[in-house]
Amino acid sequence: MDFQRYLLIGAIAALSFMLLTEWVNFKDERKGTDVVAAYQQQQNTGNTTPAATVPESAFPTATASSNNDADIPSLEPEEPSNETAFVENIDRVKVRTDALEIDINTQGGDIVFAALPKHYAELDNPDVPFTLLEQSNLRTYIAQSGLIGVNGIDTSKGRAQYTSQQREYRLEDGQDELLVDLIYQASNEVTITKRFRFTRGEYLIDIQYLIDNRGSLPWTGGMFGQLKRDNTPDPAQDSSGMGLAPYLGAAIHLPDEPYSKVSFEDIAEKQFPKQNLEGGWVAMIQHYFTSAWIPDPSQTHTYSMLKAKDDANIIRFTSPQVTVNAGETGKIISQLYTGPKDQYRLEEISSGLELTVDYGILWWIAQPLFWLLTKLHGYLGNWGFAIIAVTVLVKAAFFQLNAKAYTSMANMRKVQPKLTAIRERYADDRQKQSAEMMNLYKKEKINPLGGCLPILVQMPVFISLYWVLMESVELRHAPFIGYIDDLSVMDPYFILPLIMGVSMFIQQKLNPPPPDPMQAKVMQWMPVMFTFFFLFFPAGLVLYWVVNNTLSIIQQYIITKRIENE
């Protein structure tokens, strides 16, 4: 009978494993099909498409606003210019570099599509880059900018229509820089050039407005830049598995808080006060990637956040107006970063921007761990081996603390028969039972909490390492060995989670059993529960836990056997 029961349990387990594997494969295939279709839709977008309806609150204006448009920022209540001309259709200018695929909408000069050729959407589709910015039926996430003010050419009523000499620009081999100029003829006497400067290997785009005033009157205006995103889920998190969800939302640099997060829920429910800051930046953050506006660091800008009438989330800056005198030229500068969260490059761009690699409150521990991880990867050439090496070094750093904890556990395990006898002898007298147990602890020189305190001290380090592995874009699509070709997604055959479950079971057998029988039964199921959760964790994280558990088992086994033989 027992044999039949075990055979049935084994058959159910095998069937469940096959069904789970097929479900994972089906989900990945379906997601890959959707990603490819969305990318092809963007690539097949014609040069001329119907213009989208622009909500009034979607753009700042320098003219006096009505009470219904209280969420629209204004520079000064000046008289609006009558020089602006608008058209009904929008064109796209395509820009291709080694690091970016960009579509620029000539109506307003907004970036409405940005893909990253060096980062694939799916590992099995290297021809389909990861799409960060897009304006499609799947998602709206775009980078907008324009000129507002007395002679501004962008208002809530419409955008300026630029012209371009080419429909497509490409950074050729041997070129280090690519300039894309969009021209707007504000009048017969004022020409405005919106210049995009792309650099080889860079995700940072220099955006300049060049104002050529050939007239007899001064030209006055200021720049705004904003990121507009709807509430769709983070596409980069679809393959990240379970665990603590990475942050999706807005962030801003404040003088007293270099990295201040503002969730989409807060944007919708709270009034975000305008902030006048010198330099600074504002960003949209998601797993592995970010987009950020970095205006002129020498000027004081006004930052704001709002919920648009189409329910989109908008974060923006507006710069002070500049005046270009008659017969002179002027320039307004800013930068847009749209790419991976490379914390060392982001730190070079603007102070605090590297904190968009969000390690939480333990960032001061996580950043040195990431530095160590990158150094080890430089020597080993494999992120999986680097994770193993970091885990070994962290365990070595806590070797003595772990030794004290395991020694305490081994002593508790050794006196377990005596503790059981005391519980049985004084089962009806809890006070006497506790007193006898304390006497036994004193006699054997055992601290019942000695096994817990050293482990609690280490918890911040292990949590920090968890976030390092979770947040590092370097691990995305990074292979290990064998069938594990991506450490950022779950093990497709669940081998690492099963090994982790076995290691937890072995660890549990080395620990003293809980005194309460019911608690002991619950603890027996813990390896099974953790194995189920770890099935969906990224392989890099599971690898870390497997190595950590294995090293703990070796150290604990040696200490336990030594004490039992004394």
CATH of the domain at 126: 2.70.98.90
The Cα 497–Cα 501 span in angstroms is: 6
- Domain contains 66: no
pTM of the predicted protein model: 0.81
Residue 435, pLDDT above cutoff 60: yes
- List the structure tokens of 406: 């395991």
Residues 121 and 167 occupy one common structural domain: yes
Contact in structure between 224 and 316 (CB atoms under 8 Å): yes
118-162 pLDDT per residue, tens: 999 888 888 899 999 999 888 999 999 999 999 999 987 788 999
- Domain contains 462: yes
Residues 271 and 386 occupy one common structural domain: no
Higher pLDDT, 59 or 274: 274
Residues 290 and 385 occupy one common structural domain: no
Residues 318 and 382 occupy one common structural domain: no
Of residues 184, 183, 187, the one with CA closest to residue 217 = 187
Q: Cα–chain-centroid distance for residue 206? A: 23
Instruction: Kindly state the DSSP code that residue 419 receives in the 8-state scheme.
Output: H
- Domain contains 45: no
Q: What's the confidence (pLDDT) of residue 369? A: 93
Q: Cα–chain-centroid distance for residue 456? A: 28
Q: What's the confidence (pLDDT) of residue 305? A: 94
Residue 30, pLDDT above cutoff 50: no
Residue 460, pLDDT above cutoff 60: yes
Q: State the residue for tokens 């556990």.
A: 409
Work out the mean pLDDT of the chain and round it to a whole number: 81
Residues 348 and 378 occupy one common structural domain: no
Of residues 300, 296, 130, the one with CA closest to residue 203 = 130
Which of 323, 358, 393 is the endpoint of a domain?
358
Residues 381 and 471 occupy one common structural domain: yes
- Domain contains 486: yes
112-122 pLDDT per residue, tens: 999 999 999 88
The Cα 322–Cα 221 span in angstroms is: 6
Residues 504 and 415 occupy one common structural domain: yes
- Domain contains 404: yes
The Cα 447–Cα 464 span in angstroms is: 29
Residue 2, pLDDT above cutoff 90: no
- Domain contains 109: yes
Q: Which domain holds residue 304?
A: 92-237+245-358
Q: Cα–chain-centroid distance for residue 493? A: 26
The Cα 339–Cα 161 span in angstroms is: 27
User: Which uninterrupted H or E stretch holds 333?
Assistant: strand 329-340
Residue 38, pLDDT above cutoff 60: no
- Domain contains 366: no
Residues 150 and 218 occupy one common structural domain: yes
Q: What's the confidence (pLDDT) of residue 217? A: 93
Residue 504, pLDDT above cutoff 50: yes
Could you tell me the pLDDT band of residue 15, with boundaries at 50, 70 and 90?
very low
78-113 pLDDT per residue, tens: 333 333 333 334 589 999 999 999 999 999 999 999
Q: What is the CA radius of gyration of the chain?
A: 30
The Cα 264–Cα 231 span in angstroms is: 8
Question: Can you tell me the mean pLDDT for 496-518?
Answer: 82
The Cα 188–Cα 85 span in angstroms is: 12
Q: State the residue for tokens 């709270």.
A: 270
The Cα 394–Cα 317 span in angstroms is: 43
- List the structure tokens of 161: 């229509």
Tell me the three state secondary structure of residue 215.
coil
Residues 354 and 381 occupy one common structural domain: no
- Domain contains 57: no
Residues 279 and 136 occupy one common structural domain: yes
> Into how many domains does the chain fold?
3
Contact in structure between 318 and 223 (CB atoms under 8 Å): yes
